[in-house]
Amino acid sequence: MKHRIILIAVAILFQPLISQTPSPQVGVYLHESMINAFFRTVGPVSGKGKKKNTPYKWTIIDPRIDLEPGNATFRARVKVKAGSFKTEEKTKGIADIQYDPDSNRIRVVIQEAKVKLYFKLFGAKIPIATIDVARYYKPSFEFAGPKPIQDRVDLELPDGSRRTIQIEQIHPNLVIEKDRVAVYSDLKFTRQD
């Protein structure tokens, strides 16, 4: 019985600390499926080249972003065709996701995703070229962040006077979570008299 009373007393004492833990007031979320829908809409991206008088064509298919806690990875497959020879390679690259509080923009930028292209002949890989898939997904894909549109509100009071409330974004934070990007922030309201 004594232990229960002590536990209840401790819980009551620490409850105000737990309930006062602030949570972000504003948040914007970009889901992985939405970003990947953009890449699907771009469709296949193709190019041509020549290696020792042998023309070849490559096509980027299935480009996508994989979001895991703290990490954004760009992935794609690249099909290569030269005459009757066909092969497919996978690429994995760096996706940089940033938030700029000044411009209130969330940017998704594919930094680098190099893939070595090969022909396969009698089980041997014959190198053709190296391409950086990322260069075909420029410029960055941008979204609005959590900053409010207004930075102040002017109110007219009943006595005819005016009061201005300044609105400031504080503590912006970008977090890459499982399957989504989250940008959180708080707002600070200051009365200007």
Q: How far apart are CA 32 and CA 113, in angstroms?
A: 18
> 134-138, 158-162, 188-192 — which is least confidently predicted?
134-138
Distance (Å, whole) CA 118 – CA 120: 6
The pLDDT tens digits for 33-84 are 999 999 999 888 999 988 888 888 999 999 999 999 999 999 999 998 888 8
- Per domain, the residue ranges of the chain are 31-144
Q: What is the mean pLDDT of residues 128-135?
A: 88
Query: What is the pLDDT at residue 19?
Result: 43
The pair of three-digit structure tokens given for residue 115, joined into one six-digit string: 């893939």
Please give the model's pTM, rounded to 2 decimal places: 0.75
Per-residue burial over 87-116, b if 16 or more Cβ lie within 10 Å, else e, is bebebebebebebebeebbbbbbbeebebe
Q: How confident is residue 8, by pLDDT bands cut at 50, 70 and 90? A: low
Exposure string for 49-63, b = 16+ CB within 10 A, e = fewer: eeeeeeebebebeeb
* Element counts in the chain: helices (H) and strands (E): 2, 12
Asked if residue 10 has pLDDT above 90, the reply is no
